[in-house]
Amino acid sequence: MPTSAPDAPARHLARPHRPVLVAGTLGELAGPRHGIVELPLRLWWNPHRAFDLDQPTMLAWMYENVLREAVRVDELRSYLHGPTLLRIWPELNLPHGVRAAWEARHPGLRRRVVGAHH
């Protein structure tokens, strides 16, 4: 049975066997802010893969899927927009591992969540 060293860094999972991918900076996330975006089948396994980013529910839904399913940084850069992610972060429904990994790397996200409750 494999074991991990006690000093091994914690590894956050988006879902079983899927490590969370986190962008190095929010500034590198230069994806679209408006309009219709069609996710590739790899990120969204539905025949209807178009998301209207001008509809808040669809915007959040697309971000949740990209944050959970991305395995390459270019996917994060192509579909997410840093200032938009900051703005909608408190409303996103994310697995604990995804939220923890992003907030550990980008503490400003955590402060947004705390500030949203005041």
Instruction: Tell me the pTM.
Output: 0.81
Count CA atoms within 13 Å of residue 36 on its CB side: 4
* CB of 92 closer than 8 Å to CB of 36: no
Any idea of the CA torsion for 65, 99, 92, 74, to the nearest 10 degrees?
Answer: -40
pLDDT of residue 55: 97
* CB of 80 closer than 8 Å to CB of 29: yes
pLDDT of residue 48: 86
pLDDT of residue 68: 93
pLDDT of residue 13: 58
pLDDT of residue 112: 60
Name every residue whose Cβ is closer than 8 Å to that of residue 105 and which is 6 or more positions away in sequence.
22, 23, 24
User: Each residue's pLDDT tens digit in the chain (118 positions)?
Assistant: 433 333 334 466 566 567 899 999 999 999 999 999 999 988 888 888 899 999 999 999 999 999 999 999 999 999 999 999 999 999 999 999 999 999 999 999 987 644 444 4
pLDDT of residue 12: 67
pLDDT of residue 116: 47
